[in-house]
Structure formats: C-alpha cells, structure tokens
Amino acid sequence: MPLRVRYAECDMQGRAFNAHYLTWADMAHTEALGAVVGDYREMTAAGVDVVVAAAELQFRRPATFDDRLLVQVRFGAPGNTSLQTTFVMVRDDASAEVVAECALTHVCVDTTHYAKRPWPQWFRARLAATVG
C-alpha cells in the first residue's frame, strides 16, 4: 500500500509520530485482507470480525513530511483463532530503505458478542493462497 507522510502526522521534531505507524499498518491490513478474503463489510455480514491482540513495532529510519512510503504486507498461516501479519514500511524510491517493521496479531471474533471463535473454512481457504 503506497502512502505519503502528511504534515499533520509529524511531531515537533519533523518526524512521523510513532503512533501513525500503527495506523498505517492497520490501513494496509484492511486493504490486503480485503483483496484476499473479500470486502470487510461482507466478512462482518458473515459473522466474522477481527480485533488486535498484540502489536510490535521496530523503527529503523525516520520518516518525515512528504516522504513516500510503501507498506508491504505478509500474512502468516492462521492459527485456530489468531492471525499474525507482518509489515515492512520502505521508502517508495530507488533506495527502498526500510523505515519500520511491524507485526500485528489479530484474533477472530463473532460479530454478536465479540467472543473469540475459530476462523471459518472459507477464510482459511482464501488466505491459504497468499501464505508461504
């Protein structure tokens, strides 16, 4: 997912504020998941939703105003109820310099009570083609 660092995302030091990296990872996750398993609204209409259970960020180089970045997404194999997704944020230029790395663990929940539930088979089948 391409993105451009906006002025409002920068702190007083002129660098992208750390919390925005999680926003960018979440945006990329939504885009990638939609491309693989279908529209998010269709997923929730089928009774399946996801919540974040854990997040980890490693900052490698600062991003600053107007930098163009590319967020690369890789899904892990789903567990019974969890899914780990990794993200590499790189400069979208010839350098492809790594700016940050992130890992998010999502848990599958039902849309009625938000109780943990196993991933449905249709979700696993669609995701299987991207794992590896």
What mean pLDDT do residues 96-113 have?
97
Question: What is the DSSP secondary-structure string of the chain?
Answer: -EEE--GGGB-TTSBB-THHHHHHHHHHHHHHHHHHH--HHHHHHTTEEEEEEEEEEEE-S--BTT-EEEEEEEEPPP-SSEEEEEEEEEESSTT--EEEEEEEEEEEEETTT--B-PPPHHHHHHHHTT--
User: Considering the entire predicted model, what is its pTM?
Assistant: 0.92
For 72-97, write each residue's pLDDT tens digit.
999 999 999 999 999 999 999 999 99
Please check whether the domain covering 2-128 is classified as CATH 3.30.460.10.
no
Q: Which residues partner with 58 through β-bridges?
A: 101
Looking at residue 38, what is its pLDDT? 87
Domain boundaries, the chain: 2-128
Q: What average pLDDT does this structure show over 9-19?
A: 96
Tokens encoding 32: 């990638």
Q: Provide mean pLDDT across the span 108-120.
A: 95
Provide the mean pLDDT of the chain.
Answer: 95
